Structure 1
Amino acid sequence: MSDPHTPKTQPVDAKVTPMMTQFIEIKTANPDSLLFYRMGDFYELFFEDAEIAARALGITLTKRGKHLGEDIPMCGVPVHAADDYLQKLIATGHRVAVCEQLEDPAEAKKRGGKSVVRRDVVRLVTPGTLTEERLLDSSSNNYLCALTRLKGGSLAGDSIFGLAWIDMSTGAFHVSETDDQRLAADLAQIDPCELILPDMLLQETDLRAHAEHSGAALSPVPRAFFDSTTASDRLAHYFKVKTLDGFGSFSRAELSAAAGILAYVEKTQLGERPPLDPPSRESGAGRMLIDPATRANLELTRTLGGEKQGSLLSIIDRTVTGAGSRLLASRLAGPLVDPVEISRRHDAVDFFLDNEILREGLRQTLKGAPDMARALSRLALQRGGPRDILSIAEALLAAQDFLARLSHVSGEVPAEIASASAHLQQAPHDLAEELRRAVKEEPPLLKRDGNFVAAGYDENLDELRALRDESRKVIARLQADYAEELGIRALKIKHNNVLGWFIETPTAQSEKLQGDPGRFIHRQSMAGAMRFTTTELAELESKIASAGERSMAIEMEVFERLCAAIINVGDRIKAAAHGLAVLDVSAALAKLAQEESYVRPLVDTSHAFEITAGRHPVVEAALRKTGGDSFVANNANLGPDEEEPQGNIWLITGPNMAGKSTFLRQNALIAVLAQMGGFVPAAAAHIGVVDRLFSRVGAADDLARGRSTFMVEMVETAAILNQAGDRSLVILDEIGRGTATFDGLSIAWATIEHLHEVNKCRSLFATHYHELTALAQKLDRLSNATVQVKEWNGDVVFLHEIVPGAADRSYGIQVAKLAGLPQSVVERAKTVLSQLEEQDRGNKAETLIDELPLFAALAPAPVVSAHASAEPDPLHEALSGIDPDDMTPKEALEALYRLKSIRRI
């Protein structure tokens, strides 16, 4: 089937203009992209491309000529505003092929009157290959990710996956190896904008689901992109080295993914080589595993609605640079599990807490430091402008400023700060001075606009600019010199389109000029005046005529020279950019700790989890913003009484709106903040490293994959029970509420037993099934906790305090009343509840405790009816005595009446 974007091939005898023939040829070579076809000052789109773009951009659809007897749809966007339109198209999932004019129209005319200007695609614009400042979010990485699969490998299982991800706007390049269990979590941590993978993988349901759930634009490519046999050679060729040994050791899967991503970059950049860092191997074991559901439930970097505002990141971000904000987001997305590295980050925050003057001075300086890494990438790809050169200069000067401030600090500097400072010291500071001297204060965005080189940097340029911008003053000075020298006050220098610039004197006073024909050359005689020129004036005229072109040429030479000097020390500039980002993050976390009263947590290799007066950072900020009540802090202690790999489980009961979910989430967020290297909202915190964080909070369906709300809940719960280990932290909220009461109670019951006996992890389990509190009698590491409430005149008052004990009721009707249900409904609900409680009295789960064995790890738990009691069920006995196949209709009717009488009893 032909691609719908490709124009129909015309018959041989059809009349097609040379320009449209060229368009169709280029479009045929790029069928999966919208073609931006350069025509003068516009990018034009034709055929279905035009129709798609007009709808997406909200611009007018016109027509240009005919093709196969039909009008050719056309629309266009100005070249100078193309970035804005590209952003809209990329955001709606389109790819764009940018087709530029490769020669001057005058050159095409020399080949003949009907010759078409040579054009070709110079770049394929995709979501993961953006570098333009206006197309990117300064606070977020723009990752292009490659995913491939190999059979066998170093990880457990039959298949392993290779991941490679780059940010072309900064040059970051990472690779990793993963497996089926970690794949979704690793993709969620990377959070790519575009995901490339072999087209064959998209045919597999599970892998396609993982890919689509990542939220990235999917770009399937041929399997040949990921050829592992030539992967090493491809990487070595790209980085111009003979061997990859200097970059580290990589698995086959990692090399395959890296080769695939480089092949895609070369395809989309058409010969341009982004200045990528050598690949850095990221070990999944070095980061806390947070699966996609947990990441979404906790709203780490985005809310459930997809917004940054209201997420944890938005609350803790005090950075003042784009690079710092990106690094903070990266650390939040992948908390560490090595206590030594975590402590190193905590030391840096402590340092800036103790050195407030240094911190505030650094932050003030960094506010004026542009995004050096992204500026470098644009310059290397020949997409940069004068502002990018100035950005690098100003960022390097900011580095110098910090080093000068740091030199006045006494005492030992933490390792994190020392490492960042070492990168700054190695920065090309001499180049910074040169760049700052070369580029004016407020240069234009594009180099083609010219006038960006600072005055005084190049003498020839200054002279040409004077001729270009002050030609009248130059001519006036020359006229004054001639008039004074010759003593002719009436002498004038004039201009017309025939003679150009000339000297004019009255005929009666022209003897002195005529007497020196070698210098003053006669041009024209008038009725009362004579006109002359001189070699000096002719040269000046030539200079004035070409001053604009020549000054632009000199500026282009300066720009290219400065770009070459910058790219030559690109590695040192990148290192300095990273150093500034680290300093920004450390200072920002210190600022956060000071303003919000966060404390330094103790993170070690124990199994402790002791939080004193912990708070939910997002809820606390929201309460402060709205002027509501102050946040009620709560303690949590899930660690073992003795040093052993068995965490405690808190079973939390209490009414809705009392704060159970907030309490669950805040402890998970405290663990994330602590292990990312930040301080935490608590009075004290001791956390044994959490290697995996699981959260099942809230309810949502997945209709696109045919999953109900309850099915999603069960899938997520299954993932937790199958993966959680003794170092995991699990928070579960209302497991089993999506199905019938006794089914849900049974599932929640078995889940708690599994967490206790098999997973042995630290866990918070919130529920409305009060029957579950009886499990504390048999499970020695299970403790009951409840949210305190008080009743007052029939209403319920939430105290939001977590205390030992169990709730005896859920206060659902009181909450419904607060929500605004009609009073008649509330009163009727009370009546129904009273009757149900009366009927259910005596049928409590406590009666099951002595009869049910604990969860068996090697065999499924027995199926238990929640109706079970010590008394026989007469209805069940009556039914067991009936054989429908051996009954007449009359006997069946009589049996039915007997069953009805039993049911009434």
Structure 2
Amino acid sequence: MSDQPTPMMAQYLAIREANPGSLLFYRMGDFYEMFFEDAIAASAALDIALTKRGTHLGEPIPMCGVPVHAAESYLLTLIRKGFRVAIAEQMEDPAEARKRGSKSVVARDVVRLVTPGTLTEESLLEARRHNFLASFASVRDECALAWVDISTGEFRVMPCPEPRLAPELARHAPRELLTAEGSRLDDIAAECGAALTELPLGSFDSASATRRLCTLFHVETLEGFGSFSRAELAAMGAIADYLELTQKGRMPLLRPPVREAMGGAMQIDAATRRNLELTQALSGGREGSLLAAIDRTVTAGGARLLERRISAPSRDLDLILTRQAAVGYLVAEPRLTADLRDALSRSPDMDRALSRLGLERGGPRDLAAIRAGLTQGHSIAAMLGNDEIRILAQAARDLTGHDALIDLLDEALVAEPPLLARDGGFVAPGFDEDLDETRRLRDEGRGVIARMQADYIAETGVQSLKIKHNNVLGYFIETTSTHAERMLAPPLNERFIHRQTTANQIRFTTVELSELETRILNARDRALEIERQIFGRLCRAVLDLAPQIAQAARALAEIDLTAAFADIASGEGWVQPQVDASRAFMIEGGRHPVVERALKRKGEAFVANDCPLTEEKTPAIWLLTGPNMAGKSTFLRQNALIAILAQAGAFVPARRAHIGMVSQLFSRVGAADDLARGRSTFMVEMVETAAILNQADDHALVILDEIGRGTATWDGLSIAWAVMEHLQAKNRCRALFATHYHEMTSLSARLSGVENATVAVREWEGEVIFLHEVRKGAADRSYGVQVARLAGLPPSVVERAREILQQLESGEREGAGKPAALLDDLPLFRAAPPPPPTPAEPSAVETRLRELNPDMITAREALDLVYELRGMMGG
């Protein structure tokens, strides 16, 4: 037996070697097959059967496969499990290969690499979230981050020093991160949930990057898009190079790159995003996040825009006020808002439809989506007649001017086209005469032949003339010998061509009949071919106007988000905040949007609270004390979320709000370890606190909860005390500082700008009642023992805790020494013996049975007794 692989397996191995690091989907007819290690890995990941096909080097070859028509669902599973997939298609008809000889193999080649950051299929993407591919480049002393969503065309770049990389990746949450070989960014990529792909250094060459980008955007120079640093060019060029590699020359439709300034958005680091649950809950998933609580958008594009705004609240005061004005206008026009939202709900996702068409992965439904989106856009533009509201007026202009394309698509497409162009049936009747005739032949062949037969009878006067068909002659004209003489004589003999004579019949054909036969036999394939040609023309017409269509899609998203903000403001009683360049932070009746939504579902009311943190003459730091479960963390978080909403251009959940521009938002809330990096809970807490103290400026907003609780009491108090002093003296920022260390309340008398506040509780007959009300002043104690009892600790543990607490408090009042010495005087804890069992009173059934003498009753009496006892038990 030869160890040489078969020609087909040799081809497979060659393609596999040319695409390392990817599973190879090898097209064989109606299946994508995988072999060797790929088959073993895929069968385990997809839970499909592992079989065998032939041998290689004396060993059976493992094999598994997935149907081509269901490949997308398998691709989704593989991508989510961290695989990359190379798709090798058949590049010719198998019949062509057979013509070359029995040993010839069908030509195959990889047409696409499927990676987490390069998905475009609707079934592989989340409609309401971006799917970003990011790239980080470092050129000498410069660093930059670029990111692109090829499913929508969004393409942006910004300068990004390496210390800012983790926060920016947390903001964009890319699915895949491109870096140069040896960059050692594995931890940062893992932290933001991105697959890390290392490219050769040549992919990040800034000089060749310029050429690649010019080619991508069909321009001679990039100057029309702005001025970019070498690092920015390198980051963008690496993306272009990677897309060329993965898309195999079919480059996506990308918008010209937009350069973002470093200070254009509120800086929010990864820990703060996680603690505040901006776009994802701590438990995982979207539900329970701020995004889920406030999302009233009705389009996919609007939802993606909302996530971007929440992830990166603006620091451009004019832009914030402009967005607020648009929301305010729609709040004052509830009928218009309702009409807009109704029209928007019927608007498809034009961005992703356009992207699929550009990559030649689209179908007739994508053309229909463009048609429906532009048509709805015209209707929506007509509703927006106020030119004073800049955002809405610009959006209305971007939605008009597409009449010619709408008319073309209306005329060309049926109302509900199929998903795939190869299925046919998407071109409307009357659009193309050749197609209509071909369809008529395909669908009404017999009728066409009957009409031709009637025409020939009228022409010849031979009433017995028939058009028939057999497998030898195909279609032919048949008549009797007697009547055939007329057709054999001039002038009919020039038109009717003799084909065959039988005993009683003579058969003819005509040029028209021969052509008709060919057309009938080929009608189905011809109809599909004509539709494919029309599909190509329609795609070119759409892609020629791609920038205008993309602009219309952005306009729909902007209107949708503005209307969504107006809807939640009207429905939930939110108000327009006053935002300016000051350091003010004054909230009246503030509420936590996520908690309030959860309480409403239970029929409970949220207790609103004021936060006059700082105005002209008020303090800039609040020291917040009070028991656990009283609402300290909720209060801290809600004020941070109000700041985010205000700078995102939304109204806020409060009676009144005045917010000076927040440059940075920091949050140190909650406790969690980081075992992967060998960090304890306390170490994580200290790392996050260090980041705050080293970065916060005087326009930052900082919320801190229980600093120092992860270590010994006096260590923790010392750290918390020093952190508070640093915030007040060095950072000089606005801060909310929650603590259990009551000793710190004395700082309000020593540090200017620091004031005490507490969450009020009430005791009633030994019970603690949480009022969830924030007041000026300090808590007298923590009520920890009461909270422990509410949590369900055994009564003996709660009572013992009370004894220990009383001993410590009395010793502290009397100056009796250190806590350890005081606890030495406590009697040892002895578990109380379980109480003796109390004899239970006999039941009525037991009493009746004891009164009974079984030897003295008959069978009938025993049966009656059973019914009596059952009745006593309620049966």
TM-score (norm 2): 0.91
- The change in CA–CA distance for 1:35 and 1:437 in structure 2 (over 3 A counts) is same
In 2: Cα distance, 1:797 partner to 1:491 partner: 103
In structure 1, what is the equivalent of residue 337 of structure 2? Answer: 359
Match for residue 320 of structure 1 among 277, 280, 298: 298
Q: Do residues 92 (structure 1) and 81 (structure 2) align?
A: yes
Q: 1:302 offset after TM fit, Å?
A: 0.7
Q: Secondary structure at the match of 2:597?
A: helix
Given candidates 606, 610, 619, the residue that maps to 1:635 is 610
Q: Distance in 2 between matches of 1:577 and 1:693?
A: 31
Q: What amino acid is the match of 2:801?
A: A
* From 169, 182, 197, the counterpart of 2:179: 197
Alpha-carbon distance, 1:492 to partner = 4.2
Give the distance between the partners of 1:209 and 1:150, measured in 2 at CA.
21
| Change over 3 Å in CA distance of 1:73–1:806 after alignment to 2 | same
**CA gap 1:335/1:107 in 2 versus in 1, 3 angstroms:** same
* Other-structure match for 1:857: none
Distance of aligned partners of 1:478 and 1:234 in 2 relative to their CA distance in 1, 3 Å threshold: closer
Residues 65-464 of structure 1 mapped to structure 2, 5 A cutoff: 65-152=54-141, 160-202=142-184, 207-406=185-384, 409=385, 412-425=387-400, 427-464=401-438
Number of the residue aligned with 2:867:
none
Quote the Cα distance in structure 1 between the aligned partners of 2:666 and 2:574.
Answer: 24
Change (3 A) 1:835 1:477: same
Tell me, yes or no, if structure 1 residue 590 matches structure 2 residue 566.
Answer: yes
SS class of match (2:614) = coil
Residue 591 of structure 1: how far off its partner (Å):
0.9
**1:834 aligned partner:** 806
Contact kept, 8 Å, 1:182 with 1:289, in 2: the verdict is no
Classify 1:467/1:743 alpha carbon distance in 2 versus 1 (closer, same or farther; 3 Å): same
Quote the offset at 1:491 in angstroms. Answer: 4.9
Asked whether the equivalents of residues 586 and 615 of structure 2 are also in contact (C-alpha less than 8 Å), the reply is no
- Whether 1:782 aligns to 2:760 is no
Which residue is equivalent to 1:855? none
The CA RMSD over aligned residues, in Å, is 2.4
Residue 507 of structure 1 and its aligned partner are, at CA, apart by: 6.3
Counting only pairs closer than 5 Å after superposition, residues 663-682 of structure 1 correspond to structure 2 as: 663-682=635-654
SS of aligned partner of 2:361: coil
Q: Deviations over 1:130-150 (max 9, x none)?
A: 111111111111110001223
Asked if the contact 2:619–2:755 (Cα under 8 Å) also holds between the matched residues in 1, the reply is no
**What do the CA deviations read for 1:474-517 (whole angstroms, capped 9, x no partner)?**
22333444456666666543333222223445667666556654
Contact (CA 8 Å) 2:381, 2:397: kept in 1 or not? no
Please say if residues 148 and 161 of structure 1, whose CA atoms lie closer than 8 Å, have aligned partners that are also in contact.
yes
- Identify the range of structure 1 (752-761 vs 822-831) with the bigger mean alpha-carbon deviation: 822-831
Cα separation, 2, equivalents of 1:626 and 1:67:
65
2:806 is the alignment partner of 1:817: no
In structure 1, the residue matched to 2:859 is none
How big is the shift at 1:239? 2.1
Comparing 616-625 with 478-487, which one deviates more in the overlay?
478-487
Structure-1 separation of matches of 2:528 and 2:821: 101
Asked if residue 50 in structure 1 is aligned to residue 32 in structure 2, the reply is no
The amino acid that maps onto 1:380 is G
Find the aligned partners of 1:240 and 1:536 in 2 and give their Cα distance: 50
Q: Cα distance, 1:232 vs. partner?
A: 2.6
Distance 1:353 1:506 in 2: 86
**What is aligned with 1:543?**
519
Q: What number of residue pairs does the alignment pair up?
A: 824
Aligned partner letter, 1:580: L
Q: Shift in Å at residue 357 of structure 1?
A: 2.7
CA–CA separation in structure 1 for the residues paired with 2:222 and 2:501: 80
Does the aligned pair in 1 maintain the 2:186–2:196 contact within 8 Å?
A: no
Query: Hey, what does 2:576 align to over in structure 1?
Result: 600
2:773 pairs with one of 791, 801, 806:
801
Q: What whole-Å deviation, never above 9, does each CA across 1:767-786 have from its counterpart, x for those lacking one?
A: 11111112112112111111
| Partner deviation per Cα, 1:103-128 (whole Å, 9 max, x = no partner) | 11222222222111111111111111
Q: Aligned with 1:370: secondary structure? A: coil
1:547-592 per-position Cα deviation (integer Å, ceiling 9, x unaligned): 1122122111111111111111211111111111111111111111
Distance 2:186 2:277 in 1: 24
SS at match of 2:768: strand
- The one-letter code of the counterpart of 1:42 is F
2:777 partner amino acid: G
**Quick one: percent identity of the two aligned structures?**
57
Q: Aligned with 2:399: secondary structure?
A: helix
* Alpha-carbon separation, structure 1, partners of 2:799 and 2:152: 63
Q: Is 1:478 the equivalent of 2:460? A: no
Q: Which residue of 2 aligns with 1:558?
A: 534
**Alpha-carbon distance in 2 for matches of 1:586, 1:446:** 35
CA distance 1:656–1:665, change in 2 (3 Å):
same
Aligned partners of 1:200 and 1:223 also within 8 Å: no
Shift of residue 186 of structure 1? 1.2
Corresponding residue number in structure 2 for 1:890: none
Aligned partner of residue 638 in structure 1, secondary structure: strand
Q: Which residue does 1:850 correspond to in 2?
A: none
Q: 1:740 aligns with which of 698, 702, 712?
A: 712
CA offset at residue 522 of structure 1? Answer: 4.4
- In the alignment, residue 614 of structure 2 is paired with which amino acid? G
Q: Given that residues 394 and 436 in structure 1 are in contact (C-alpha distance below 8 angstroms), is that contact kept between their aligned partners in structure 2?
A: no
Could you give the per-residue CA deviations for residues 683-715 of structure 1, whole angstroms, max 9, x where no partner exists? 110000000000011111100000011111111
Hey, what does 2:861 align to over in structure 1?
none
- Map 1:484-495 → 2, pairs under 5 A: 491-495=465-469
1:824 deviation in Å?
2.2
- Match 2:656 to one of 680, 684, 698: 684
- Letter in structure 2 aligned against 1:365: A
| Partner secondary structure for residue 657 of structure 2 | strand
Q: TM-score, normalised by structure 1?
A: 0.88
1-structure distance, mates of 2:619, 2:470: 94
Residues 180, 24 of structure 1: alpha-carbon distance in 2 compared, 3 angstrom cutoff:
closer
Measured against aligned partners, the alpha-carbon deviations of 1:71-105 in whole angstroms (never above 9, x if no partner) come to 11111112122111111111111111111111112
- What is the letter of the counterpart of residue 130 of structure 1? L
Confirm or deny: 8 A CA contact 1:607 1:647 kept in the other structure: no
Residue among 529, 548, 566 paired with 1:572: 548
Query: 1:700 maps to what in 2?
Result: 672
**How far apart are residue 237 of structure 1 and its match?**
3.1
Contact 2:128 2:304 in 1 (8 A): yes
Q: Counterpart of 1:383 in 2: which secondary structure?
A: coil
Q: Deviations over 1:256-291 (max 9, x none)?
A: 111111111111111122221221101120100000
For structure 1, which segment, 761-770 or 530-539, has the greater mean C-alpha deviation from structure 2 after superposition?
Answer: 530-539
Deviations 1:730-749 (A, max 9, x none): 00111111111111111111
Residue aligning to 1:717: 689
**Unpaired stretches in structure 1, ≥5 consecutive residues:** 1-10, 153-159, 845-865, 876-899
Q: Could you tell me whether the CA contact under 8 Å between 2:22 and 2:83 is conserved in 1?
A: yes
Q: Aligned to 1:201, what secondary structure does the other structure show?
A: coil
The CA distance in 1 between the partners of 2:742 and 2:543, in whole Å, is: 67
Q: 1:601 to 1:640 in 2, by over 3 A?
A: closer
Counterpart among 575, 580, 592 of residue 616 in structure 1: 592
* Distance in 2 (alpha carbons) for counterparts of 1:818 and 1:825: 12
**Partner of 2:251: helix, strand, or coil?**
coil
- Partners of 1:161 and 1:843 in 2: how far apart? 59
